[in-house]
Structure 1
């Protein structure tokens, strides 16, 4: 029994983010509180459009090509991808945005807006910063070194609950082993593993990609990563609907057979987004073009920066096709 007002972080986060008055129901959307790669530069959508074109080629250019924007926010990515596609490819593309919030006013009418994934996908399913908002339980070692579930109230007050057992204990032992030292924390990623497997199961042929803050088993943070965001700033995670609640993703645990984890830097470099400065000679030959190229290079540098967006993880999961990013090297996160 958890007692009055106490519940695990998974249930508390679910209500705080997705309940009737939850954070993701708010009209300003995610962009009002934090900046993702989608908001940083239109180059990101162009890169995703380029990836969709590679998937299209690998599929043999089918009559209908699916693009699914999972956790679509206010439709910024799907809008940018459609705008960046060649006209012929765009005409064959069925664009679908999956999001619990209501459809934004003025969204491109070609975009299907829905609360759940389509039954079957032939093309690219792209989940940008979705898995970090799939709620998980938090474990913390007690004075004896035993991992216990962390319980929380709506005001953010915590206490330790029952020991972690069963499938959750097995997951910790395999993917986030905690030394027998008091106060160490971990986020139990089982719900994310299941959510990703369910999403990939909808892809009949094509590619599924999850992009997120991530870590791997050889470098798990000893005190976990649970945090909050409000109005562009990190804050204490309080499950009352006033802030985003997020935790980095163990993408290596989510990966299904054939999947692999890259950094965003490696993935975008493979898609031609490098951040290289334009040649100085262009400044005298075409000053306006030089300024445009310099701006683009700056945006690309932000998207691929070490210590920043470039360190995001990309979990790349081909289904029935060769990996379109096969030439991208998989440096550690």
Structure 2
């Protein structure tokens, strides 16, 4: 998974994610507007620091950063230090005002956001064999799977705590989320003051997928997760193991003014053009807050303040 996503010929190194799948950041400018609203509120809570950091982890081609900057009031935008964190080279069309790095920065004062990043942090997958032993799933570059060694003690400890397979049938799978926990801990540690926010899809202990969630995406379609660099390979996130509070995107966006309400019908005759624009906005908002889709994703939040974390 590591090589297929981030190696020299890996998917995220040579492909533009927007050409293959839709995230909230790519679905509508309303999402960038909501993040801009969040940043403005955070700026006030932090007493308007200069610079005000905006860090996008798993930045793609910088679409979210560009959208947030465009939606900010000028007085806030003038103080923003925007940085994209991504393994791919800096996009040629990216404005020079946006920084670009392959590594997490440190001492962030402001907002660190990671939209569908954790689901692409590589993990090991285990499967119960015919003797109910937990063994690693191996995969060749052409997608042929086999079972390897039994899990190591550290991985066994994580599984016992977060994804026990007791009573599960032969063939049941679990996805070891320890690397996601470590990645999220590193994102939290990057914060000096402000908010670290991960937006992703996943599950909790009560609803773990019995046979796992490993899948692939290419050109807008779900495809077999062949680890040859030709497709996105993704695994849902064990959200509760991250150790931070969560809320659904539907709830979070409503707090930020995105509710999907349709404009009043009377507006159609009084202001036809405005009605069409408002209707389009409502449709875009509805996609972002649909509980069966993007609205069912979770916002994982970690507040950092001088002296510790909350």
Bin of the TM-score, shorter chain as denominator length = over 0.9
Tell me what 1:202 maps to. Answer: 190
Name the structure 1 match of 2:271.
286
Aligned residues: 305
Checking the alignment, whether the CA contact within 8 Å between 1:145 and 1:179 is kept in structure 2 is no
Matched, 1:155 2:133: no
2:287 counterpart SS class: helix
Q: Give the deviation of 1:104 after TM superposition.
A: 1.2
Deviation, 1:165, is: 2.9
Q: Are 1:190 and 2:156 counterparts?
A: no
Post-superposition Cα deviations, 1:163-215, rounded to whole Å, max 9, x if no partner, equal 11311111111111113421100110000100110111010010001111111
1:69 equivalent in structure 2: 56
Gaps of 5+ in 1: 1-12, 322-333
Contact kept in structure 2, 1:125 and 1:209, CA below 8 Å: yes
Q: Is the 8 Å Cα contact of residues 96 and 111 (structure 1) preserved in structure 2?
A: yes
Paired residue secondary structure (1:318): strand
TM-score by length of 1: 0.90
1:61-210 to structure 2, matched below 5 A, reads 61-180=48-167, 181-210=169-198
Q: Where does the alignment leave 5 or more consecutive residues of structure 2 unmatched? A: none
The reply on whether 1:223 has 2:223 as its aligned counterpart is no
Quote the residue 1:6 is aligned against: none
Deviations 1:199-249 (A, max 9, x none): 110100100011111111111110110001111111111111111110001
Identify which of 282, 286, 298 aligns with 1:297.
282
CA distance in 2, matches of 1:55, 1:166: 42
- Secondary structure in 1 matching 2:154: helix
**Structure-1 residue corresponding to 2:234:** 246
| Equivalent in the alignment of 1:16 | 4
Larger mean CA deviation between 188-197 and 156-165 belongs to 156-165
Report how far residue 98 of structure 1 moved: 0.7
Secondary structure of 1:319's counterpart equals strand
Q: SS of the residue aligned with 2:60?
A: coil
The 3-state SS of whatever aligns with 2:148 is strand
- In 2, the alpha carbon distance for the partners of 1:277 and 1:306 equals 17
Q: Deviations over 1:65-90 (max 9, x none)?
A: 10001110000000000000000000
Aligned runs of 1:5-44 on 2, under 5 Å? 13-26=1-14, 28-44=15-31
Q: Determine the C-alpha separation between the residues in 2 that align with 1:101 and 1:274.
A: 34
Distance (whole Å) between structure 2 residues aligned to residue 306 and residue 105 of structure 1: 36
1:43-94 CA-partner distances (Å, limit 9, x unpaired) = 0000011111111111111121100011100000000000000000000110
TM-score relative to the length of structure 2: 0.96
Q: Distance in 2 between matches of 1:186 and 1:94?
A: 40
Is the contact between residue 139 and residue 149 of structure 1 (CA under 8 Å) also seen in structure 2? yes
1:233 is matched with 221
Cα shift at 1:157: 0.9
Runs of 4+ in 1 over 6 A off after TM superposition: none
Q: Distance in 1 between matches of 2:141 and 2:85?
A: 28
